[in-house]
């Protein structure tokens, strides 16, 4: 078989995979809308959704319509955007740093956003302040990381990673201090629950404000995904091919940071997605970011929606998503490391 035939075969397989993953996302999304304390049949879901676009005689209660549009649909959209955003950010970071152990949290985004949320819960006590301060402090953490890494007027990858670890540790320590001084009855449980991750507070307003930020970041990363391939070859080779490595690196970091900070502002700290999902995508389609990033986007969206559905339906009380993603992600990642120990 010639190389051209092999290339065409890979593209056909990738096309089939994209179609399968898109269908899987639709199935998972419909299941998320159906399941809960109030079960809604799929046919009724379709009719309720269609009633917003076509005149129909309602055969359902206003309570059912409110549950669908005000509770489950915003939560579904949040799960899709956060899962897709964290996954594509993780894949982009791993390609940029040429390191399979890198995730969107490596630059201190989660630690900074966690401190902002803890401050908002402690001093303001409303969800709007939590989302605003978590987003602002997430961006602040990355700015501090980038500023610290330029101590030698350059930004080598190793200095950037080490700076992210330092800044993340600093913000995590500040968050621990806030938890220590917080009211153990009123504030402490809220801080801990939020840091564990949950889409319980997602609303239509959140999707209007934060959703476009995540979407823009995802679109930009998808548009420049072929340049990430060049960066993965090494900066010297990329510059030899005429790529402005500094600009592309800054674009990737900014977009991934925007996505991560916006995701944390909606659902708290949800770990392992940006680390595990790109590995699964790499097994399916290989390391080529032109196929890897779209596949990771679809897998991440389906995965987080499925986990969120389990989190709110498995028990009478909701399980924090961060617990489930860690329980599922850690064994999967250990298996992938053992199976693919020869390289990535």
Residue 310 has pLDDT above 90, yes or no: yes
Percent of the chain with pLDDT over 90: 33
Nearest alpha-carbon partner for 195 in 204, 205, 182 = 182
Tell me which long-range contacts 312-317 makes (C-beta under 8 A, separation of at least 24): 312/36, 312/200, 313/35, 313/36
* Helices (runs of H) and strands (runs of E) counted in the chain: 16, 0
Given this model, what pLDDT does residue 104 score?
77
pLDDT at 229 over 50: yes
| Coil, strand or helix at 340 | coil
Mean pLDDT score of the chain: 85
Compute the half-sphere exposure of residue 184: CA atoms within 13 Å on the CB side of its CA: 1
- What fold, for 78-339? ABC transporter involved in vitamin B12 uptake, BtuC (1.10.3470)
Segments of 140-239 assigned E as strands: none
Q: Among the listed ranges 90-104, 132-146, 281-295, which one has the minimum average pLDDT value?
A: 90-104
Contacts 24+ apart (CB under 8 A), 186-190: 187/121, 187/122, 187/125, 190/121
Q: Given a cut of 60, is residue 2 above it in pLDDT?
A: no
Q: Which residue has the tokens 């309570």?
A: 63
pLDDT for 134: 84
CA-only gyration radius of the chain, Å = 21
**Inter-residue contact 230 to 243 (CB < 8 Å):** yes
Count Cβ atoms below 10 Å from residue 248 Cβ, excluding itself. Answer: 18
Cα separation of 89 and 110, whole Å? 13
With a cut of 60, say whether residue 247 has pLDDT above it.
yes
User: If pLDDT is split at 50, 70 and 90, which confidence band does 315 have?
Assistant: confident
Find the mean pLDDT for residues 204-212. 88
Q: Check whether 287 has a pLDDT greater than 50.
A: yes
- What's the rounded mean pLDDT across residues 68-81? 94
The pTM is what? 0.87
3-class SS at 70? helix
Crossing angle between the packed helical segments 289-313 and 273-285, to the nearest 10 degrees: 130
Q: Which residue has the tokens 């809604």?
A: 40
User: Residues 225-243: what's their mean pLDDT?
Assistant: 77
What is the 3 state secondary structure string of 289-309?
A: HHHHHHHHHHHHHHHHHHHHH
* 291 token code pair: 């196929």
Q: Is the dihedral of CA 251, 111, 276, 190 positive or negative?
A: negative
pLDDT in tens, 177-197: 998 888 887 788 888 887 888
């Amino acid at each position: 078989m010639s190389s051209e035939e092999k290339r065409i075969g890979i593209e056909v397989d990738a096309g089939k995979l994209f179609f399968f993953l898109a269908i899987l996302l639709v199935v998972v999304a419909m299941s998320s809308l159906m399941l809960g304390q109030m079960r809604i049949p799929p046919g009724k879901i379709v009719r309720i959704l269609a009633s917003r676009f076509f005149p129909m005689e309602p055969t359902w209660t206003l309570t059912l319509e409110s549950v669908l549009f005000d509770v489950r649909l915003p939560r579904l959209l949040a799960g899709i955007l956060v899962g897709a955003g964290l996954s594509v950010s993780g894949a982009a970071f791993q390609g940029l740093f040429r390191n399979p152990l890198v995730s969107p949290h490596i630059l201190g985004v989660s630690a900074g956003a966690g401190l902002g949320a803890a401050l908002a819960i402690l001093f303001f006590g409303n969800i709007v302040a939590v989302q605003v301060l978590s987003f602002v402090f997430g961006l602040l953490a990355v700015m501090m990381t980038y500023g610290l890494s330029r101590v030698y007027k350059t930004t080598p990858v190793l200095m950037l990673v080490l700076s992210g670890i330092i800044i993340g540790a600093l913000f995590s320590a500040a968050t621990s201090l806030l938890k220590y001084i917080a009211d153990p009855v009123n504030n402490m449980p809220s801080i801990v629950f939020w840091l564990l991750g949950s889409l319980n507070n997602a609303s239509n307003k959140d999707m209007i404000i934060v959703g476009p930020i995540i979407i823009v970041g995802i679109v930009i990363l998808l548009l420049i995904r072929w340049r990430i391939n060049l960066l993965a070859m090494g900066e010297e080779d990329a510059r030899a091919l005429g790529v402005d490595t500094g600009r592309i690196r800054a674009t990737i970091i900014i977009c991934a940071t925007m996505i991560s900070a916006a995701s944390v502002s909606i659902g708290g700290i949800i770990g392992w997605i940006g680390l595990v999902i790109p590995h699964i995508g790499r097994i399916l389609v290989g390391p080529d970011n032109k196929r890897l990033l779209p596949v990771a986007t679809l897998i991440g969206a389906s995965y987080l929606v499925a986990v969120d559905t389990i989190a709110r339906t498995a028990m009478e009380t909701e399980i924090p998503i961060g617990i489930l993603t860690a329980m599922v992600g850690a064994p999967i990642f250990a298996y992938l490391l053992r199976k693919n120990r020869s390289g990535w």
